[in-house]
Amino acid sequence: MNGEFNIHAARRLENIKLSTLLEASAVQTQTDLNALLRAAAARGATGGLLNQEVEVIVAATETLVDTVIAYRKELAASAPDLLLAHPYLKEFHTKLDQLADGAVTTLQQRHANNTRFGQFSASTLQAALGLATRRVNVLKNRINNEIQAMALEGVLGMHSRNQPEQVTNVFHGPVGNVAQNSVHVRQSANMGIQPHDLTRLVTELTAHLDELNLDARQRQRAEAQIAALRVELAGNEPDPSIVRQAGRTLRNITEGAVGSLLAAAATQPVMWQWIRHMLQSF
């Protein structure tokens, strides 16, 4: 009975979380698109605008999907049946694919009547939709790989309560080899990231993102992660899983560029060293 309660409770929590994430993502995406339009209007040019819209929409969708997957994995620690291929992962896979398809739908709906953007020809719109579809297909392939990996964890019973009782060692600092000979050990390290540090990280990256010289796609992805962190900071209780996922993605996107800046004697080495240290804490 307790297992049944856990699986149903976990699914309810997941549905509530998804609704919250969808709303926050929609608001942030619209904000980013409006900023994009204002910038285009200020330049007096719309060349490449549709492709930039695709980048904003798809980057936001990728962040949403990554966050939802991270939350399912977190819930699986309490409800291991969430990693069963049938029916729970099958349903989850369908839901993730629908989230991915939402990127194309969003673009289609923005230009359904093509009155406000009458300067875009049908061929230009079709090309943008084709780009969005290709990006979504790449995302779906990644989703499929994630589902297969989670299914394997379910088969191996990596989250099963039937495993021998684990020894839990909690370390407030770097995790080393102190438990290397323990069996079924779960080590938990305190990342030590305080809200004021997270706020400063978002502020510094927002102000100095140009200095990293990221390509267009990577910049859009970085901005999406920063936006996700900003949304969490705006709430009363930031979700640790969302913060952790966004921070790790930011680290993966920027670590090469940050390292290059430091190697080339960046103008603000102390700040960039601090940013790198913070990102490595996720």
For residue 101, pLDDT beyond 60: yes
pTM of the model: 0.56
Examine the domain organization and report whether 112 and 227 are in the same domain: no
Q: Is residue 175 part of a domain?
A: no
pLDDT tens profile 107-117: 888 887 654 54
Q: Which of 106, 137, 156 is the last residue of a domain?
A: 156
Q: Is residue 265 part of a domain?
A: yes
d(CA 266, CA 211): 9
Q: Is residue 259 part of a domain?
A: yes
Q: Is residue 127 part of a domain?
A: yes
Q: Residue 67 in contact with residue 242, Cβ under 8 Å?
A: yes
Examine the domain organization and report whether 89 and 141 are in the same domain: yes
What per-residue confidence (pLDDT) applies to 77?
83
Q: Is residue 257 part of a domain?
A: yes
> Which residues, other chains included, contact 215 with Cβ-Cβ below 8 Å and sequence gap of 6+?
none
Q: Is residue 275 part of a domain?
A: yes
Q: Residue 230 in contact with residue 202, Cβ under 8 Å?
A: yes
Examine the domain organization and report whether 111 and 227 are in the same domain: no
φ/ψ of residue 95, rounded to 5 = -65, -40
For residue 212, pLDDT beyond 80: yes
What's the domain count of the chain? Answer: 2
Q: Is residue 212 part of a domain?
A: yes
Q: Residue 225 in contact with residue 63, Cβ under 8 Å?
A: yes
Helix, strand, or coil (residue 174): coil
The boundaries of the domain holding residue 260 are 195-279
Examine the domain organization and report whether 66 and 200 are in the same domain: no
What per-residue confidence (pLDDT) applies to 140?
93
In the block, tokens 């640790």 appear at 240
Let me know if 85 is exposed, middle or buried by CB neighbors in 10 A (0-12, 13-18, 19+).
middle
Examine the domain organization and report whether 142 and 239 are in the same domain: no
Examine the domain organization and report whether 83 and 205 are in the same domain: no
Examine the domain organization and report whether 213 and 150 are in the same domain: no
Examine the domain organization and report whether 11 and 92 are in the same domain: yes
Q: Is residue 30 part of a domain?
A: yes
Examine the domain organization and report whether 134 and 273 are in the same domain: no
Examine the domain organization and report whether 40 and 129 are in the same domain: yes
Examine the domain organization and report whether 150 and 243 are in the same domain: no
For residue 2, pLDDT beyond 50: no
> Which residues, other chains included, contact 93 with Cβ-Cβ below 8 Å and sequence gap of 6+?
143, 144, 147
Examine the domain organization and report whether 210 and 262 are in the same domain: yes
φ/ψ of residue 189, rounded to 5 = -105, 135
